[in-house]
Structure 1
Amino acid sequence: MYEIKTKFNDNSVIEFIENIENLKKREDAYKLLDIFAETTGFPAKMWGPSIIGFGTYHYKYATGHEGDAPLVGFSPRKAKTSLYFTTSETDRAKLLQDLGKHTAGKGCVYINKVADINVDVLKTFINQTVTFLNETYPSQ
């Protein structure tokens, strides 16, 4: 049976960030930590070995697959920092257009550094994701 690898754990967010070798990447991780925490009002929690998540929701797909995930989050990876958002396609396209320098995958947005993006748009992205997921997967 398939087991979800990205689970909430009790690992220290600060310890994780402190172990980032690249100083600029570490500084950006602290900036993102502040932005996400202030914007969501949720404390940072580790999800899996490298995702810093904020809030949580329970999803259940039509296939029956279900689980828990952070509402929003980020992961300071070696190459780029991954930002995790889920919004409507229309909102996503508009926000990505205004975000600044990035690349985007299906579920992630990748940035080189915080200075490359518009922080106000980032905050809007965070807020719209929280709203979208709370409406899509209301608490039982």
Structure 2
Amino acid sequence: MSDLKTRPTDQKVSQFIQAVEPESKRQDCWTIVEMMRRITCAEPVMWGASIVGFGTYTYVNTTKKPADWPITGFSPRKANLTIYVMPGFTRFGPLMEKLGKHTTGKSCLYIKKLGDIDQSILEEIVRCSVEQMRAKYPTK
């Protein structure tokens, strides 16, 4: 069985974000970094080549092996900014309706740009997500 490939790296978040194009997406990344830093009280860390993660939690994966993952984070993908909301979206129905233009996956919130959404609603979703994750996976 293979180990989890996405792990914290020594890559500098600032260098990663400085390479993001276009400039407007790069600025959105810096805004998200500041929001997530404020919410988690954690510094950003690169996970793999393209995920900026904040905080960690340990879960037991499908192979019954413990694995670490960021409590929250984001990735500036080509098509969208992907924001990781680890507990998923079932508890966020009313907030999601007010968020603005977005799509979702299981734990991924996809937005084209921050200007398409209500950033205060995004902040509330991320804050609640982090609170849920910390309650479920308390730091030892």
* TM-score strictly above 0.5: yes
How many angstroms does 1:50 deviate by?
A: 0.4
**2:7 and 2:24 mapped to 1: Cα distance?**
27
Q: How large is the Cα RMSD of the aligned pairs? A: 1.7
Question: Please, which runs of 5 or more residues in structure 2 have no aligned partner?
Answer: none
Distance 1:85 1:73 in 2: 8
- Give how far 1:88 is off: 6.1
Q: 2:106 — aligned with what? A: 106
Shift of 1:63: 5.4
> Which residue is equivalent to 2:41?
41
Of stretches 54-63 and 23-32 in structure 1, the one that deviates more from structure 2 is 54-63
Query: Does structure 1 conserve the Cα–Cα contact (< 8 Å) formed by 2:88 and 2:106?
Result: no
- Say how many residue pairs are matched: 140
Task: Spell out, residue by residue over 1:110-138, the C-alpha distance to the aligned partner (whole angstroms, 9 max, x if none).
Answer: 00001111111111111111111112222
Distance apart, 1:44 and its partner CA: 0.7
% identical aligned pairs: 38
TM alignment of 1:121-136, pairs within 5 A: 121-136=121-136
Structure 2 partner of 1:93: 93
Matches within 5 A, 1:1-140: 1-61=1-61, 64-87=64-87, 89-140=89-140
Give the alignment's TM-score, normalised by structure 1. Answer: 0.91
Q: Do the aligned residues in 2 keep the contact of 1:13 with 1:52 (CA within 8 Å)? A: yes
> Residues of 1 paired with 2:87 and 2:15: CA distance?
30
Does structure 2 conserve the Cα–Cα contact (< 8 Å) formed by 1:58 and 1:139? no
Give unpaired runs (5+ residues) of structure 1. none
- Cα drift, residue 2 of structure 1: 2.2
